[in-house]
Amino acid sequence: MSSNSALERTISKVLSQKETELISQIDSAYQESLKNLEASQGKLEGERTRIVESAKKQAENIKRQIVGSSRLAARNQELLIIENAVINAFEQARRKLADAGDKESYKSLMAGVIEESVSSIGSGKVSVECNKNDSELVRKIIADLQKKNPKVEASVSGHSIDIIGGIRVKSADGSMTYDNTIDSRIERLKPLIRKNIARMLRGEE
């Protein structure tokens, strides 16, 4: 009977020790799990923060792109309006100048243009090109110019050019050209006209 009691006590003691060890292991594993969970939560929070920050940056980039696109579209629209205004202004000028061929003011203008152009070439013989409507007027002006200055050796080219008015003078050997057409003068004015129209559109004038 005593042997059985001793055995039972021994078994009970062993079981108690194992139970204590098992509980300790379970508790240790539980504490480790808590630490891992807390660490994971920290990592998840950091990842969440990074995701939110990344989303904010993307949103800002998209916003800048939209604003930039809107500004570019507005700028392109402004340039289109300016260019159309320039084209319309010069088309009106062309029509007015085309109708001025028979006026004394145009004849006076042409006389000054021819004298300036011939002297600018500075060579002996020159060829004067003009449109077909001005050929007779140009011949008359050259004839009058030669009466005043016999040294002028100019002749009207048999080749007419498609211009509004004015002339183009070439030296006899073709090495020098002086473009004094109304068309070229208009082209030189375009940048100034564009600038003035842009200032008007922006309310600067």
| Integer Cα distance of 61 and 161 in angstroms | 55
- Looking up tokens 């208009």 gives 186
Q: What per-residue string of b and e applies to 99-112 under the rule 16 or more CB within 10 Å gives b?
A: ebeeeeebbebbbe
- 144 phi and psi angles, rounded to 5 deg: -65, -40
Mean predicted confidence (pLDDT) in 123-128: 82
The topology under which CATH files domain 101-192 is hypothetical protein PF0899 fold (3.30.2320)
Longest dimension (CA), the chain: 162
pLDDT tens-digit map of 166-199: 899 998 887 888 898 888 888 887 787 777 777 7
3-state secondary structure of 178: strand
pLDDT tens-digit map of 17-67: 666 666 666 667 666 666 766 665 666 566 667 766 766 677 677 777 777
Q: Is the pTM of this model over 0.85?
A: no
- Looking up tokens 């379970």 gives 26
* pLDDT of the residue at 128: 92
